[in-house]
Amino acid sequence: MFERLKDFPKNRIIRIGAAFSAFFLVINMVVYFALSSYAEVGRASEILLDDNVCNFASKDFSDIENMLLADTKPKIFILGDSISYGIGVASEKETISGYLRELHPEYSVYNLASCGGKSLDYYLWIQYLNDLAERVNYDVSNDIYVIQYNYKWFNIDNGDFSDRISQKRILMHFDKYIDDEISKELDFYPTFFDKFGTFLNDTIPVASNRTKLIGLFLNEKSKEDFIKHVFYGRPETNSFEYKQQYWKDKEEMANFNCKITYSSNQWNAENNFNFMIYEKTIALLDNLDKNALIYLPAYNYELTKKCQENPAFEQNIAKFLSIATSVDNITGDAMIGGVDEKNFLDDMHLNAEGNAILAQLISHKISKN
């Protein structure tokens, strides 16, 4: 069989490849213009990533850039993971960013969080936004970065690539900001297919077209459920019960948290990639003279108070805050215990009322700063 492939005319292979590419492009253009969207959720783009069910809140990279270039108001940039993204609530109005828009109408609020967001995500976003600031027509000195870190990423081993970046596409899009130190630690060297996939995602709305095609086979109720679960990750009920598929009871969740999320490991840059990037991010914000609130989230106190028995728990938080607050324009805070247990969907994700409370806490901090 392989001998026959050797004799296969090369020009015929090229023609077949060209025909397939043309067909691919035509189909995508037809779908893009002929089918209307049913997933205008405001907080997430229609792009479904292979390794991430919730994408950037302000749609896609090109959408974000176009909005920023046209927007002359001072901005609040929200960077974080699923907590900041607001997974689990019904609409954008019930997220932290939604409430901050109400509290600070003088600002444009951009929620750039994504599920599984890590320290490196934030570091790369800040550099990109700083470069973009040179092209906008307003005074960027009043911009504020609200950056939410996660206890978990400073405790886990960080041996896997997925523990160091939320998605490969972030690296591909912001690769020019990856220095030698980061590149060595990541051990990531993009292949041709990585670059080609990024090109497709940035130029052809393949994934959003896929979403539209799925819609052809769904009734209205199914579309509603699809949006609810894929884009918002919303459970059927805003209660602790939906987590039963992962944990048998609260005690088991608490034990898991104390072992993994709030372990007795000392946070340090030598042994933890995410903490190393955190330190680099603070230095970057200082160098760029940016205003920022750096905080650890308001975890469910009832599920985490047991973890405070760990010897390093308070020490780690103190170290985290001391690094942030060593810079004049940066405010640091650990908001654990700041939200009542009834406002949690699980150990860390908040319902609408919880997001409103956290937004108030954030508003107070940035207003004071």
Residue 51 pLDDT level (bands cut at 50, 70, 90):
very low
The pLDDT value given to residue 255: 65
Residue 259 pLDDT level (bands cut at 50, 70, 90):
low
Q: Which CATH number fits domain 45-170+231-368: 3.40.50.1110, 3.40.50.2300, 3.40.605.10, 3.40.50.2000?
A: 3.40.50.1110
What's the whole-number mean pLDDT along residues 339-346?
83
Residue 251 pLDDT level (bands cut at 50, 70, 90):
low
What's the whole-number mean pLDDT along residues 233-259?
49
Give yes or no for residue 93 having a pLDDT over 70. Answer: yes
Residue 62: Cβ within 10 Å count? 11
Where do we find the tokens 């020490």?
A: 315
- Number of helices and strands in the chain (H, E): 16, 5
pLDDT digits (tens, 9 = 90+) for 147-175: 999 888 887 766 677 778 877 778 888 88
The pLDDT value given to residue 339: 87
Give yes or no for residue 229 having a pLDDT over 60. Answer: no
Complete DSSP assignment for 329-345: TEEEEE-TTSS-GGGBS
Q: Which of 34, 86, 77 lies closest to 55 in space, CA to CA?
A: 86
Give yes or no for residue 143 having a pLDDT over 90. Answer: yes
Give yes or no for residue 310 having a pLDDT over 50. Answer: yes
What's the whole-number mean pLDDT along residues 103-116?
90
The pLDDT value given to residue 277: 94
Q: What is the residue-averaged pLDDT of the chain? A: 77
The pLDDT value given to residue 115: 78
- Higher-pLDDT residue of 244 and 224 is 224
CB 76 within 8 A of CB 108: yes
Residue 298 pLDDT level (bands cut at 50, 70, 90):
confident
Give yes or no for residue 232 having a pLDDT over 50. Answer: no
Residue boundaries of the structural domains of the chain = 45-170+231-368
Residue type at 73 in one-letter notation: K
- Higher-pLDDT residue of 113 and 45 is 113
Residue 159: both structure tokens together: 């041996």
